[in-house]
Amino acid sequence: MEEKLNFSPNALVVLKKRYLKKNEKGQTIETPAELVERVSSAIAAVEKKYGATKEKTEEIKKKFYEIIANLEFVPNSPTLMNAGKDLGQLSACFVVPVEDSMDSIFDAIKATALIHKTGGGTGFSFSRLRHKNSVVKSTGGVASGPVSFMKVFDAATQAVKQGGTRRGANMGMLRIDHPDVLEFIKCKEKEGDISNFNISVALTDDFMEKVLKEEDYNLIDPHSGETVNRINAHDTFNTIAEYAYKNGEPGIIFIDRMNEGNPTPQLGVIESTNPCGEQPLLPFESCNLGSLNLSKFLREVDGEFEVDWDRLRDVTFLAVRFLDNVIDANKFPLPQIRENTLKTRKIGLGIMGFATMLGFLGVPYDSDEAILLAKEIMSFIYKNAKEESMKLSVVRGVFPAWKGSSWDKKTTRIRNATLTTVAPTGTISIIAGPTSSGIEPNFSLCYSRNVLEGEKLLEIDPAFEYIAKKEGFYSEDLMKKIAAGESIQGMEEVPEKFKKIFKTAMEISSLWHIKMQAAFQDFTDNAVSKTINLPNNATVEDVKEAYLLSYKLRCKGVTVYRDGSRSVQVLTVEKKKEEKKHEITEEKQSVVSYPKPRPEVIMGTTTKVTTGCGNLYITINQGECGDFFEVFTQMGKAGGCAGSQLEAVGRLISLALRGGVDIKVITEQLKGIRCPSPSWVNGKKIFSCADAVARVLEKRAMDQKEIVKVEIPVLEKQEASVVVKKTANTFNNIVGVCPDCGCALRHQEGCLVCDACGYSKC
């Protein structure tokens, strides 16, 4: 079946690195076709439990294989990684309860470690924990509060690497009426603190009404239920907006909206979600997700594209059946999670490739036409997902907690308590790609991705590539400029019509981002993961307006990210024209940097230079992104003071390079330094060992035409608006460096993702 697969080169790299089976030595022992076969077989085998014949089971397996091989549907990462293996944990999303006792807190930490080890992400509400400095009657001491215990969970997460392929991701949530809410809002003010958590404040409808009226509200002791303080709702709302403005956190969850959509209120109240906020769950409940790739559901008629509704319906049917089977095939990490998940049988069918679909259809993302299409597509998926789930209930029965549920009240017999979720698709959209992620607009129309052993490949949005070639404005030079961060909005070679169709995330106003999220939420019974992008020169008032509009349009939660708001920002781009680079580097800068992590294997070159002190060997290594990464120096057999000074020079240069300092700045500092013993090499005078290092760096930089490192400036407000207009497309939500490959991390769909290697924090 290998010939049926159509994975891109970058998808193959991601599959090999994260998904394909490996032996005890870490060697890959599975092909992509065998992966699809393994997953399809394991999930189709469930059919036998419900009376399917061997022939029928084989037929279903082939259909599952086909929709995955065609990249029409991709299940969540744990299913791809673990289906058909001994581990067998297939769910992505979990919520673990945290009660107000030491036993519960540390039981939750243990449960979290087990879940992370098997590849899942966890959400917690810390709202039941008594507030800081309140009296603990059993000991006579005082409580340390929710934030202190979040740090314990964070440390435990740091110690557990998820299944060797995914790192732990958490959601920490606190109700707006908890006495420690202000400390919680500010708990990630210092960058790097509680780094394994996304945090969200659970806002009630009552609180939001008091915000609008600028009234006070009660802070309630969760242990006693008594009011311990009253503070102004509008002031608290401002504080949330101010901290989100600074670094994108906290997010907000409209907790009453979440519970309005709770299909089984008789089982309990929803208090938290999974790490990216799109999957509300009851305590000890899990959910498995999968996404339809909308860019694959198009057909060309008379030179124009239209939605292939028939194929979308058929694949939706199969995807629902697949996800329901996953529940039975699953090996749950804890017995109580198995029990609660089987009671509700929640699934979360979502989408990716929406922006790519719009591009083929010629519809701008920021248009009423796109909003209407979003509603039409999601309502169609929901309608057909519901139809298939109802059919499954006839043979397999309704979910066990159906009686007393919202479905019972509607007299709708259905197999799954929830059906649809719009989840982040950072890594699986690379596997299914090239295609856009989730319901997000494109963050760039062309990426430079890592492929094999440092080799880089341009990956272009297929809709833009198709249009550019069809309309005659495609060129390799154009694509390189886009990959370097230039916006097509300023390019004369791109017709105005297509500039409107292919706007990127930072070129679309927050209003349209929120309207799009709300459009999909209308037909999503769980929630929608999306980032509301704001330009660097946005204000706190803009953040507040985004929150209020999200509330008005009945979103279940919202995450805003102001471009450039994280202090550590390193972006690797292809080399631009010199004057473009100066537009960035000559602006006022205030950047706090830390060095990128060093990969286990790194490649470079060694140059021999004759100096007045002897033969100097200068090794310059490059990172996986192609950027200059580190420098080692060795002076023949020299030791003592000369050797130690050369080692110090190499270490400091390496630190500067890994921290993102432009190589030109480094060479300017070293060139011309003199010592008593100069030398001549190829007709040029070498003044010192430091001067020799500078000249080799300079020569290598001239030879390296492809890639440079650019530090993003933190500008004064009056300067920011000018530069952002010039460089908005360059700095799309870059928030740090990838722990796997050292390239840029981007904030997307409530998560951190690396476009170069496919790493995702969630």
Active site residues: 274, 276, 278
Tokens of 742: 């050292």
Do 696 and 682 form a contact (C-beta atoms < 8 A)? no
Cα distance between residue 272 and residue 269, in whole Å? 9
Within 140-266, strands assigned E span 141-142, 161-162, 166-167, 170-175, 197-203, 216-220, 227-232, 251-254
Candidates 270, 252, 189; CA nearest to 566 is 189
Cα distance between residue 722 and residue 731, in whole Å? 14
Helix (H, G, I), strand (E, B) or coil at 659: coil
Tokens of 275: 């790490």
Spell out the alpha helix ranges (H) of 330-425: 335-344, 354-361, 368-396, 406-409
Candidates 198, 174, 195; CA nearest to 560 is 198
Residue 240, Cβ neighbours under 10 Å: how many?
Answer: 25
Residue 48, Cβ neighbours under 10 Å: how many?
Answer: 12
Residue 466, Cβ neighbours under 10 Å: how many?
Answer: 17
Residue 195, Cβ neighbours under 10 Å: how many?
Answer: 13
Do 356 and 463 form a contact (C-beta atoms < 8 A)? yes
Cα dist from 489 to 445, 465, 496, 504, whole Å: 12, 16, 8, 10
Cα distance between residue 574 and residue 483, in whole Å? 7
Cα distance between residue 401 and residue 9, in whole Å? 45
DSSP class of 417 = S
Q: Pairing relation of β-strands 251-254 and 197-203? A: parallel
Cα distance between residue 474 and residue 483, in whole Å? 14
Cα distance between residue 248 and residue 188, in whole Å? 10
Candidates 728, 379, 378; CA nearest to 534 is 728
Candidates 261, 319, 327, 328; CA nearest to 288 is 327
Phi/psi class of residue 472: alpha, beta or left (left: φ > 0; alpha: ψ in -120 to 50)?
left
